[in-house]
Structure 1
Amino acid sequence: MDILVTGGAGFIGRWVVKRLAEDNHRIWILDNLSNSSMDNLKDLQLIYPDITFIKGSITDNYLLQTLFINKFNICYHLAASINVQDSIDDPKSTFENDVIGTFNVLEQCKLNKTKFVYMSTCMVYSKASNKEGISESHPTCPASPYAAAKLAGEQLALSYYYAYGLPVTILRPFNTYGPYQKQNSEGGVISIFINKKLIKEPLSIYGDGSQTRDFLYVTDCADFVVRAGYSEKTTGKVINAGSGADISITELAKLIAGEAGNIKYVTHIHPQSEIQKLLCDARYSQKLLGWNPKISLAHGIAQTEKFLKTQL
């Protein structure tokens, strides 16, 4: 197939592109490199000849019109402003990228009958309230402009499914981690902690560390994203992906640093946007796609540490 991946030079985008390339598709990547790097794609471009990179923004309508001449079968829409604190400081930029940009891509998908796969986030949810975790019907509570913009993008995409019959799929992966994730980006707590350990600096925890997260290794996330795009069963659906187990940030820090590791607690930079408990109920994606994560947290941390050692 001919496939467009917006944000394909980013952390998760890079792994989605790799998975698609392994399936022998022709892939176009659109990325403005504001939160990503060509270094993420170097090894892929050497191995796979059918990857075309275009530097540009989803806010550039003329560029999108030109790009969609390629008549894509699927558009995996991962491009977004993803930093929570940035969205609090500058909500306008987040809105323009994550809502207007999504609208621009949707318009081209509608005109060209291209399936639209939208990467949302677990940050749209309110906290988990039971041991089964957060299912797709769980209440939403956008506690930051980033989460609100993502939720707006979801609703916009679904409106194109209902109003125009456009094949649309909404994905809400939980906290994804692994090689190529930045060590200074939000949501990259595992990479941040491992990097701090390797350079012998303290692992800083916001708040009291009791907040929990459900961590998903990036190859499992990419497999989920790609499968959701391939399947006709996902059309018009909102789908979670996670491990089904959560861990407190304090326990995570101890796991990475060791019991004698250097851990310190610091004042939270945006406590109002903190979701206290994130635990994924991924039974729907398992039923719909036959998808299950394969990489355990311990193995994923080991793989991430092995990669980060090569970056020092």
Structure 2
Amino acid sequence: MSRILFIGGTGNISTYVVDLALERGHEVTMLNRGNHAWPFAGPVTRVVADRHDRALLAEIAARNYDVVADFIGFTPDEARDDVEAFSGHVGQFICISSVSAYQKPPAHYLIDESAPLRNPFWKYAQDKIASEGIFVDAYRATGFPVTIVRPWHTYGCTRVPTATMGAGYTAVDRLRRGHPVLCHGDGQSLWGLTWSGDIAFGIAGLFGQQKAIGEAFHITTEEILTWDEILRTIARAAGGPDPEIVHLASETIHARYPELGTPLLGDLAYSAVYDNSKIRRLVPDYRARTTFAEGVSRSIAWMDADPSRRAVDTALNAKIDDLISIARRAAGS
């Protein structure tokens, strides 16, 4: 049994990793603000606090853990705080980064961990790159025992992932009503969506592995779909008609609504296929076993189980309608 600290622990990926750690008999502590409850599979020690409180972070680190997994580290300053607090107090530190850190636009659609890290479009990815750099520098300088994990577009039961229409119920509602839906580009770029319970198996499989220290791993699905296929799969799972998909250039979306377009230019617009050979060398049984059709059906069922989960974002809907109008005018229809 290992003593594991999760910074976060109630998010899209981390809830599944916490449950798996409990199932495997580990002693689990969570540090977060206590804003979200989740029915975990076993007893969890909860520390309700702000991770930015450096004195408290140092106090918690002094309890010494076999593994610390930070799921809510997004900035270089947070990475520096982690290194300062946990140096000498942890056997392995898991930094959760993102595949968006890889070079954009990619030099090749097939990507392994040797791909360069560069993203000129998206501050989220830039901060992940800078944070990775801080951890790697600490490993080289002092042996700080970091392992970097780069998830791909990941969703669990609380999300229905799309590229331009959010991850909530709004897209499902549009598809059920037979309203047109928006897709970037021509809808034919290649993409994959990883069920959080599957990536949890890969992350938990790295816990305590000395061969993972100082290394980076992406952990992804190998089911590759086009974005048009993704939208049609959501429509089928929602019980809606075959969708009317309206296409618009990512650059046009970005020019009109940067908050929708930046993730496209910074990640989602490019075809990508990730080589999982490296994670399988340490976790040989890793497979993303959940198809997108299976996973998104679970997500929609979770939303349907409680009316409060079926909120429609009217502001987002208005933006989608506006962008669809732009696409139609450009097409002369």
Distance 1:199 1:60 in 2: 47
Paired amino acid for 2:216: V
Distance 2:30 2:202 in 1: 19
Paired amino acid for 2:243: G
What pairs up with 1:108-257 in 2 under 5 angstroms?
A: 108-126=85-103, 127-130=105-108, 133-142=110-119, 143-181=121-159, 189=167, 193-194=171-172, 196-197=174-175, 202-257=180-235
Residue 280 of structure 1: CA displacement?
A: 1.0
Contact 1:191 1:304 in 2 (8 A): no
Distance 1:199 1:108 in 2: 51
Residue 57 of structure 1: CA displacement?
A: 2.8
Contact 1:177 1:191 in 2 (8 A): no
Residue aligned with 1:38, SS: coil
Percent identity reads: 21
What pairs up with 1:53-92 in 2 under 5 angstroms?
A: 53-81=46-74
Residue aligned with 2:16, SS: helix
- Kindly indicate whether residue 261 of structure 2 is the aligned counterpart of residue 270 of structure 1: yes
Flag the 1:186–1:162 CA change in 2: closer, same or farther, 3 A: farther
Residue 234 of structure 1: CA displacement?
A: 0.9
Stretches of structure 1 lacking an aligned partner (at least 5 in a row): 82-97
Distance 1:111 1:196 in 2: 52
Distance 1:283 1:154 in 2: 21
- Kindly indicate whether residue 79 of structure 2 is the aligned counterpart of residue 102 of structure 1: yes
Residue 58 of structure 1: CA displacement?
A: 2.5
When normalised by structure 2's length, the TM-score is: 0.76
Contact 1:106 1:116 in 2 (8 A): no
Distance 1:29 1:281 in 2: 31
Could you say which structure has the larger radius of gyration? 2
Contact 1:220 1:294 in 2 (8 A): yes
Flag the 1:153–1:195 CA change in 2: closer, same or farther, 3 A: farther
The more displaced of 173-182 and 69-78 is: 173-182
Residue aligned with 1:204, SS: strand
Residue 25 of structure 1: CA displacement?
A: 1.8
User: How many residues are matched?
Assistant: 287
Residue 188 of structure 1: CA displacement?
A: 6.1
Residue 311 of structure 1: CA displacement?
A: 3.3
Instruction: Tell me the equivalent position of 1:289.
Output: 283
Contact 1:216 1:293 in 2 (8 A): yes
Instruction: Tell me the equivalent position of 2:27.
Output: 26
Flag the 1:200–1:16 CA change in 2: closer, same or farther, 3 A: farther
Partner residue of 1:38 out of 18, 36, 60: 36
Instruction: Tell me the equivalent position of 2:295.
Output: 300
Stretches of structure 2 lacking an aligned partner (at least 5 in a row): 255-259, 308-333
